Structure 1
Amino acid sequence: MDHVKALILKFVMVEVMVYIVLGAAMKVSIGDTLLISLILTIAAYILGDLILFKAFGNPIATISDLVIAFFAIWLVGSLIIEPNIPLITGSIISAVLIAAGEWFFHKYMARNVFENDHVKEAHSPNL
C-alpha cells in the first residue's frame, strides 16, 4: 500500500509541474499532459526510485530523474503534441521543476516506503 500512495503522490507532483509548464504556459491539452505524466511517473518510479535511489542515494537518483523526465516529456510529447509547441524548452523547464520535487519525494520514500530497507543515505542526519 505504501507504493500505491507513493505512486499517487508522485503522479500528482509530476502532473502539476507538467501542466504548469506545458498546459498553462504552452496551451497543451490536459489529456496530453496527463498521458505524459502517467508514462513519466511509471518510468521514473521504477528506474529512479526503486532502483537508483535505493542503490545510490538521493543526489544520483535526482539527477537521473531529471534526465528521465526530460527524455520522457520530449519523446512522448513529440508523438502527441502539435509540432508548433517549443517542446525542448518545455521539457527542460518541466524536468528541472520535477527534479526539484524529486529531491523531497526521495526523502518521503526513505521515511515511508523504504523505512525498513537499506537505502544508501538512510542514516544521514539530513534526511
Structure 2
Amino acid sequence: MMAYPHTRRSVLAAVSMITLLSLTACGSERPSVADIKGQIAEMSGDTEVSDDQMNCLAKAYYDSDLSDEAVRFLVEAEDVTAISPEDLSKEDQAASKKLYEPLVKCLAPAE
C-alpha cells in the first residue's frame, strides 16, 4: 500500500512530461496555410481583401523563407502592426524583405 502514492506520482509525472513534450512539439511546427489565412482575415477587418487574395497571402507566408517561429509569431500576434523588425532574427528580417514582391502581387487587382 505504501508504494501506491509513489507509483501514482511517477505516473502523473510521466503523463505531465509526455503532455509537455507533445505541446512543445506541436508548438514548433509551422502554422498551416489555414491558420495564416485566419490571422489575415482577422487582421484585415473591414478592408476588402478577397478570399483569393487571402489564400495567396497565406500561401506566400507559408512558402516563404521565414522560420517556423516567425510565422507562428505572426499568426499568434494580437496586433501584427505592433511587430517591429527587431522582433525578428536577422535571417527572418532578410526573409521578410523577400516577401514584399509576392505579397504585393497577391494584392494586385485581378485583370
Q: TM tier, shorter chain? A: 0.3 to 0.5
Larger Rg: 2
- Relative to its length, the structure with more helix (as a share) is 1
TM-score (norm: length of structure 2):
0.41
Instruction: Report the TM-score when normalising by structure 1.
Output: 0.37
